[in-house]
């Protein structure tokens, strides 16, 4: 029984050490959307399809994410908390990368 509890605890830690970040190419989470599941504090540069094309975005509950204007999580920043924003406003089509962390 001890081994099973340890295994379940390890599985919980593995799942809780990452965030889901949902991005879309149009307002109100419409258009082409993708959910990114990444470890906390790991920078992700958007591939060419989403690079400078994100218009709405939101992290899962228990996380916050930062959009960056440039690749490699550099440049201007926009912080997003759950449930995110239906429109990034002045940040529409500006994001080049992001990372997320636990709340």
Q: Which residue shows structure tokens 């759950």? A: 82
Interval 50-102: pLDDT, tens: 999 999 999 999 999 999 999 999 999 999 999 999 999 999 999 999 999 99
What is the value of pTM for the model shown? 0.82
What's the whole-number mean pLDDT along residues 25-34?
98
Distance CA 40, CA 99 (A): 7
Q: How confident is the model at residue 16 (pLDDT cuts 50, 70, 90)?
A: low
C-alpha distance from residue 17 to each of 33, 38, 74 (Å): 23, 9, 23
Domains present along the chain, CATH in parentheses: 19-102 (2.60.20.10)
Q: Which residue shows structure tokens 């440039």? A: 70
Distance CA 63, CA 84 (A): 10
């Amino acid at each position: 029984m001890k081994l099973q509890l340890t295994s379940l605890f390890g599985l919980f830690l593995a799942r809780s050490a990452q965030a889901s970040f949902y991005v879309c190419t149009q307002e109100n989470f419409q258009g082409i959307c993708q959910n990114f599941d990444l470890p906390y504090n790991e920078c992700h540069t958007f591939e060419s399809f989403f690079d400078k094309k994100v218009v709405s975005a939101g992290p899962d509950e228990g996380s916050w994410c930062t959009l960056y204007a440039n690749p490699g999580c550099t440049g201007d920043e926009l912080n997003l908390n759950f449930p995110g924003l239906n429109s990034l406003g002045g940040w529409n089509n500006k994001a080049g990368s992001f990372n997320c962390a636990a709340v």
